[in-house]
Structure formats: structure tokens, C-alpha cells
Structure 1
Amino acid sequence: MSKILFLSQPMFGHFNPLFSMALQMQADGHEVEFMIPGRKEVNSNIGTLKNAAAIPKIIRKNGIPVELISIPIPLAATFLFATSLAPKLSGYNELEFLMGFLPTGLKYITEQAIRYIERSRPDAIATDYTFLASYLAAEVTQVPCAVIYQTGLPFRGKSIPPFGSGLPIREDYATFGSEFVRKEKAVLARLDRKVNRVRSQFGLPDFPAEFWRQPYSQWLNLVTSIPVIEAPRDRLTDNTFFVGPCFSNRSGKTSDFPFEQLRRDRYKIYVSFGTMSNDRPHVLRKIMKALARPEYQVIISAGTAYSKLVRERIPENVLLFSSVPQVDLLPQIDLAIIHGGNNTTNETLAAGKPAIVMPIAGEQGDNASRVEYLGVGLRLNIERFDEHDLLAKVQTIQSNSAFQYRANELKAALDITKGSATASALIHQLARTQKAVMRSCSVPEAYPTVFL
């Protein structure tokens, strides 16, 4: 059996797939542990800090050791400023900001990770693709590292527009999206310079140009998706595997949600804007007003907005919660209105549900384009929609069986995947061989389903 160190950003969107893999590896008999940036004394109601404090508790509750990367107060304050400002931005402005901020603290966190790796001596590392420090630390210590991508969105393809642009998926995107093409080149060039500057301080060679748009681990890249729910990608490496969604072992763990209140005689609409940018009570009020009709039941996971909305008069057909067991709830509803985060989008597709995507920022616009490209939903501008716009889109999906038919097709393809088990097997092979895991020769046929 292997010893695997998982390194994650302290944000649920990045943590959840890694946690599912860790639970699977633990069940398979491997020794697993986590390392996450954080401070022990944090106790806050601020959304990002609250989430960051909750993640280590969840890990320990499942019997997995966790090491905190202690962040100095000045650097922690910088992170807090960035995570507080980012949700207030929208569209490509938020992506530009976050990509510029990504290398902040990279040298310090890499040093802390190196020290712990040398002390812990894992057989392999698994990390989220945005957590660059863990990959640099793996290169320095020469511990093989699997890099995890929630979707194929960062990767290039013939019809794929610039990452984070939210442009439609079509081959002629450059003719009407030239501004985003120019912006992306500048953003990626700045990221390359900043990251390579830190790499040189550790004696590492430069990353390839625009490394962000390709799988960058020399050992193993795992995508928790499958090609049928992606637009075609190219230039993928032979050590890149689409393993399928990784969340099945996070379901069935919540028993206090009132599932008995869900109405069989109503068209059930689930609304969620994720865990990072969910303080949007004005948007939820408009949604509730638009859907205050007797034929609908609306289930809202309001996040930070819950404390404001719960004091108000809520329509009788609305069930309002601060959070819900999303993986378990999605199969019980008919339509999802979502922000388009990677995990929520994949979980909605895996549940076989159509979606209306109201992207806020980051990759969410790209997921809205993906949902439309796949024929399983529609997009709606979260800043400029009115009640009539939303109701019209709900009624379009409700009355047109093609959306549900296509969602069922994708669900059938996803049902045969074993994402967590496949990831566990591939990471174990990486740990056992200490060599890159390649599609061409080193994956035994006995592995669970792997989409190549």
C-alpha cells in the first residue's frame, strides 16, 4: 500500500474532488493525509474564512490527518483581501485579477510544503491544478505528483475560446472574441513570468509557455470529467486521463435534510450559487418572485445570503436553506439554476438534470457555454435578467423534452464511470512505480473504467 499526501486550496470547489479521492484511497487501504494553508486560530463568519476553517474539521472527522501550512499574518491578510474582492468582480475582470494574484506567496508556501514532504516522506502527492506550490515542491523533492483538474476547461481545442471568456464554443470564436484572445495572451504571459521567476529560485527550469492551457504534470494529470461532457480538446499529454466525476463517496452522509418536504406533484427547481460568491440576496429575491407559481417548488441553497433572506417573507412554494446536501438532492429535482462552478456543473450533469447557468465570474461563463454546447440547458445574465427572462427559460426547458433527453444521455455515460476508484488506482500506480503513468503502456486492463 502507498502513502499519499493530498495538498489543496482551502476552498470547497478545489477541495471536494481531492477529498473524494482521499476517501477512496483510504477505503482501498492506503495511508492518506492532507496539507492545506490555514491558521489554527481562525474563527470567523466571513464566508471564505469560515469555509477554510471548516475543511480541516471535515478531514479530521473522517480519520485523515491534516497539516496546516501556517500563513504569516501579512500574507493571510493579502489572501483575505483577494478572496473578499474577487466575488465583487465579474466576468473576465475577476479572472484577470485571480490569475494575477495566483503566484502570491508561491515561494513561501513552496518552502513550507518542501519541509513537510521531506519530513512526511509520502510515496506520491496529489494536488489541485491551481495549487502551484505543491507541484513545485514535488519537483524539488522529486516525489511524483498527480495534478487534478475538475474539467477540461483549461485545455485548448480547435473550437475552444480563451479560458474564462465565456464565449460560445465554436470554431470562429476569434472573429468576434479578438479582445479576449489579446487579453488572454497578456494574462498568460504575466503568469508565466511570475511563476518562472519563483521556479528559478528553486533551481527549476521554466514551465513551457502558456503552461496554464495544457496538462502540466510530468507524472500524471487526472480530469474528473469524461470527453462526452466536454467540447473537443487537443494537445493533451499521454499521461492525462479523464476518470469521471469524483463525488460518489461524498453522498449519503447527511440525514437531517427534510427530503420528505419535496413535492412529487410539483416541478422542482433547485437554486445554488456555490460557496464563494453566494452573497446575492437581490438575485435570489428576483428568482423567488419569478417562480412564485403553484406548479413549482423552489429549493434554494442561499449560502451567505441566508441570514438576510430568512428574516423576510418567503413565497410559500420556496424551501430556503443556508446549505444543502447537493449530491444527494440533485437527483430529486427537475431543473437546476446554478452559477456554473466546475463541481456543481459536473454534479448536475451526473444527476441527469437540465440547467440554467447564471455565471458570475471565472470558469463559470465557460461552463455556461459548455452546458449550451451539450444541449442540456441555457444561460442567463445574472446582472441584467428580469423575472420574465428567467420564467421564459424555465418554461422553455420544462416544455422541450430535448433538454431532459440529452441530460439522460449524458447521465448514462457518466453512470458507468468510477471516478474515485479510477483515480485511486492511477495514483497508487504512480506511487508504486515512481514513474509517469502513461496511457500507452502502463495502465493494466484490470483498472476501473478509464476514458482515454
Structure 2
Amino acid sequence: MSPEAGDALTVLFMPESAYGPTNQCIGLGKVLVDKGHTVVFAAESSWAGKLTPHGFVEDLVDLAEPAPSAAAEAAGQFWIDFINETAPEFAKPTREQLATFVQPTYQALIDGATYCEPRLREIIARHRPDVVVEDNVVSFPALMTSAAAFVRIVSCNPLEIRGGGIPPVFSGYPAGDATGWASFLEEFDRTHTDTWKAFDAWCQEQGAPPLPEREFMHSSPTANIYVYPRELDYTDARPLNGSWHRIDSSVRETDEQYVVPPELADRPDDSGLIYLSLGSLGSADIGLMQRLIDILGATRHRVIVSMGPRADELRLAPNMAGAATLPQTTLMPQVDLVITHGGNNTTTEAMHFGKPMIVLPLFWDQYDNAQRVHELGYGVRLATYAFADADLTDAVDRLLADTALRDRMATIGADIRSRDGLRRGAEIIERVGLRHRGAGGGGFPG
């Protein structure tokens, strides 16, 4: 239903450049466009031309000085390049990655935020949004100091919302065993405090409030949205205040319909249909991808492979089909098992469609998602670079044969879908905008 006359809002989204957060915002934005609101994307410039087909206004930003002779980049190329350069770090324990991967990643994000701050202020002045929505892990002061209402989205594992009684974010440590939590946080402070202090000072110079301790992102005093199923959540150990709203899933409805190729659809009764995806960034690790393909190629099962940006370098087995990109949200309902890196979008979508998972985490919150899925019995976590071939094939056979788990997952998926997180999230943003307009506006409270 379209908003009444005078109630149409302008909503500006600023997602982090990778596919996960951007797709998350696309799903919410499309619901708002369909309701008659104007949606502007201040996304990273490699998304040029990919957002307007959904009815969005593109007013894009660079996160670094563009190379004078740079060719058109793939969407998210900024981070594909960064991940490729740091891929050897993924085999290290998470505590060691704090210094060699997590801190440099934060610094790269901060560099992007400081670079595009003037451009963001121009975009906000040009469109005068009623609501600005940020889905990122570092703050952009221009977004929260404008006259618009400010909404934060967390499309990472909600351990990012720090608190007592829960494992440290990025650790992948069990929720039921606090061994190592304090040591991990000490190492986080050792490796991140100087970066945090410098960023906090810069944010305050731009007019933003002080950053909370250990956090690189401000929360909104009005409305914060996080995307995570109730079945995986940590709120029993770390309750959240009333500004936080969980949406159990946020599955975009913009993907084209996927048709399983006949050679995979017609399979033996004892063969499962598996979806393999390490995400747009993880799939750039050609050695890991080819190993997974080779192992699964020797099984009786059928496999659909999301091959990623280096698809032409991969060799699929005869029991497989794949492409560089696939419409994941229409493909996933048709499979029996998902093998994933544990990105938040894929994890929550697998829960949304009721699919058990094998999780091979690579970086960031993927360890936390992998551990949560494993410890709650919704799948299996494997050591991404240390598993034996039999570890993977045994996990596949065991999960496919576990009819009780598959029935349980199907019930959970139906429950999650009934909660309609996508529209709930869009309604929260819409409500914030209408209330803000009715109150006469005003920026982030100092």
C-alpha cells in the first residue's frame, strides 16, 4: 500500500561495500520503494548501475582515490582486492588474526569512512533524507549528525553488540565455556586501542558523540535493527534495551527464479542436493574452492556451486552445476544441505529456509556464526584449512541422513518465515521516518 499524500519518505541507505550488507539493504529498500517511498543508495561506486533497476536512486561514493586508469570494477571489488591480499591470514587462530587481519580491516574501513565524509555530506544536502540507514561496522559521522533520523543495521553476528555473558566477537569461542574470553579481549585491546582512540577523536571532531569502549560504530538512540533468528540469538545471556529490534531474517525478493538443471534434479534416491557457497569474498580463494569441489565431486551427491569472481579458474565435476553468481534466495529452498563460509546473510537465509549447514569460516564474524550453528545442533563446524577429506564427506552423509534434524529445520524455517522479518524491518524504518518528520526533525543527540 502506498503512503498517504504527504507521508512519502526519502530514505538513504549507506551499506558496507560487500555483497552481504548491500543485499541486506536492497531487500529492505525494495519493500520501501514498493510502498511509495524514495530510496537513495549512497553505496560504494563499484555498484554503479546495479541498484537503479530496483527503483533506487544511486548517488555513490568512493572509499579511496580512484586509480586514473581503473577499468569498471565488479561490485564490491574494493573488498575483493583487500581480502585477496590478506587471505593467508585466514588459516591462523582467531586470536592471532586480531593483529594481522581484524585491525587492518578496521583501519581500511576507517580510511574509507574518512575519505568519503565530505561526499556523504554533499549527498545528504542534495537529497535531504528523512531517515538515513547505515549497515556497516564503522561510523560515518555525516549520517548521524544530519537532520535526518538515524537507524543502524547490524547484519553481522549480534556478538558485535557487545555485552557481558557472551563470547567476544570474532573469537568463534563457545557460548558455554568462558575459557579464553578474557585473554581474547586483552589481545583485542592491545591491538585495537590506538586505532579506536584515533577514530573516536576524529568522529567527535565531525560532531558525533564519543564511541562506546571497544566499538567502532555508534548505535542509534531511536532504532537499531539486527538480523538474526531467535533460534540462534544470545539475548538470554545478553538482553538488549528497547532501541534494539531483532528481525529473524531479511531475505530479499529481488532474485530471479533458479531452475535446477535436469541432470541434477534427476538424481538417485540416496543422493542429496547440496549448495556450496563461500560468499563473494571467500570464493576468491581458488585453492580452497577447488579442494571442496574435488572432494564433493567424488561423492554420489549433486552439488550447485556459487563459483565467485574467479569462476573461470575453477573446474567443476560431472555431478555439479554452477556459475559465478547465483540467485541464492530462490536456489536455497530447493536444496537439502548448505555448505557455507558462515556469512551472516547465508547463515540467516539457511535458517529461514530450514536447511542444515556445514560451516567453513574464513574471517570476521563467520567464526561466531559457525560456532553458534554447531553448538546449537543446526549443523557442523569444520576447520576450514585443516579438515580431512573424510571430515567433510562424513558430515555431509550424516546431516543428509539425519531425518529428525531435517524435519526440525523445516519447522524452524516455517516459523522464521512466518515472522516476515523483511517487512518488519522496512516498517521499523518507515515508522522512525514518519515519527521523526512529525516531531520536526533534528539530528543525533549530542
- Residue 245 of structure 1, CA deviation: 1.4
Whether the aligned pair in 2 keeps the contact of 1:37 and 1:68 (CA below 8 Å) is: yes
C-alpha spacing 1:167/1:9, structure 2 compared with 1 (3 Å): same
Corresponding position of 2:396: 394
- Residue 278 of structure 1, CA deviation: 1.0
Whether the aligned pair in 2 keeps the contact of 1:219 and 1:435 (CA below 8 Å) is: no
Structure 2 distance, partners of 1:396, 1:72, is 47
1:304 partner SS: coil
Structure 2 distance, partners of 1:142, 1:361, is 36
Corresponding position of 2:231: 228
2:282 partner SS: coil
Asked whether 1:250 is paired with 2:257, we answer no
Corresponding position of 2:113: 106
Asked whether 1:272 is paired with 2:264, we answer no
Question: What is the letter of the counterpart of residue 341 of structure 2?
Answer: H
Name which of 167, 174, 185 aligns with 2:173. 167
2:129 partner SS: coil
Name which of 10, 18, 26 aligns with 2:17. 10
Instruction: Describe how 1:49-128 pairs up with structure 2 within 5 A.
Output: 53=46, 55-71=47-63, 73=65, 82-90=82-90, 92=94, 93=97, 94-128=101-135
Structure 2 distance, partners of 1:129, 1:70, is 15
2:279 partner SS: coil
Whether the aligned pair in 2 keeps the contact of 1:8 and 1:131 (CA below 8 Å) is: no
Structure 2 distance, partners of 1:245, 1:259, is 30
Please list the CA deviations of residues 326-384 of structure 1 after superposition, one character each: whole Å capped at 9, or x if unmatched: 11111111111111111111111111111110111111111101111221101111111
Structure 2 distance, partners of 1:259, 1:32, is 39
Structure 2 distance, partners of 1:196, 1:215, is 10
Whether the aligned pair in 2 keeps the contact of 1:155 and 1:234 (CA below 8 Å) is: no
Whether the aligned pair in 1 keeps the contact of 2:359 and 2:370 (CA below 8 Å) is: yes
- Residue 131 of structure 1, CA deviation: 4.9
Whether the aligned pair in 2 keeps the contact of 1:75 and 1:105 (CA below 8 Å) is: no
Structure 2 distance, partners of 1:281, 1:203, is 44
Structure 1 distance, partners of 2:280, 2:25, is 17
Asked whether 1:182 is paired with 2:186, we answer yes
Gaps of 5+ in 1: 39-52, 438-452
Structure 1 distance, partners of 2:293, 2:64, is 43
Please list the CA deviations of residues 378-401 of structure 1 after superposition, one character each: whole Å capped at 9, or x if unmatched: 111111122112112112222333
Name which of 202, 209, 214 aligns with 2:213. 209
- Residue 248 of structure 1, CA deviation: 4.0
Whether the aligned pair in 2 keeps the contact of 1:257 and 1:325 (CA below 8 Å) is: no
Whether the aligned pair in 1 keeps the contact of 2:284 and 2:310 (CA below 8 Å) is: yes
Structure 2 distance, partners of 1:388, 1:14, is 34
Question: What is the letter of the counterpart of residue 376 of structure 2?
Answer: L
Moved more, 259-268 or 60-69: 259-268
- Residue 234 of structure 1, CA deviation: 1.9
Instruction: Describe how 1:248-397 pairs up with structure 2 within 5 A.
Output: 248-251=252-255, 253-254=256-257, 258=261, 261-265=264-268, 266-293=271-298, 295-310=300-315, 314-397=316-399
C-alpha spacing 1:280/1:217, structure 2 compared with 1 (3 Å): same
C-alpha spacing 1:264/1:82, structure 2 compared with 1 (3 Å): closer
Whether the aligned pair in 2 keeps the contact of 1:86 and 1:97 (CA below 8 Å) is: no
Corresponding position of 1:241: 245
- Residue 423 of structure 1, CA deviation: 1.6
Structure 1 distance, partners of 2:160, 2:139, is 15
Structure 2 distance, partners of 1:398, 1:205, is 50
- Residue 155 of structure 1, CA deviation: 2.2
* TM norm structure 1: 0.83
Structure 2 distance, partners of 1:12, 1:148, is 15
Structure 2 distance, partners of 1:229, 1:274, is 21
2:110 partner SS: coil
Gaps of 5+ in 2: 1-7, 71-76, 440-446
Structure 2 distance, partners of 1:139, 1:204, is 7
Structure 2 distance, partners of 1:394, 1:278, is 20
Question: What is the letter of the counterpart of residue 296 of structure 2?
Answer: L
Corresponding position of 1:132: 139
Whether the aligned pair in 2 keeps the contact of 1:372 and 1:378 (CA below 8 Å) is: yes
Matched length: 413
Question: What is the letter of the counterpart of residue 246 of structure 2?
Answer: F
Whether the aligned pair in 2 keeps the contact of 1:9 and 1:131 (CA below 8 Å) is: no
Whether the aligned pair in 2 keeps the contact of 1:228 and 1:413 (CA below 8 Å) is: no
C-alpha spacing 1:259/1:146, structure 2 compared with 1 (3 Å): farther
C-alpha spacing 1:70/1:355, structure 2 compared with 1 (3 Å): closer
* TM norm structure 2: 0.84
Asked whether 1:28 is paired with 2:35, we answer yes
- Residue 33 of structure 1, CA deviation: 1.2
1:284 partner SS: helix
1:148 partner SS: strand
Please list the CA deviations of residues 3-38 of structure 1 after superposition, one character each: whole Å capped at 9, or x if unmatched: 111112222111011110100000111111111232
C-alpha spacing 1:386/1:117, structure 2 compared with 1 (3 Å): same
- Residue 189 of structure 1, CA deviation: 2.9
C-alpha spacing 1:414/1:187, structure 2 compared with 1 (3 Å): farther
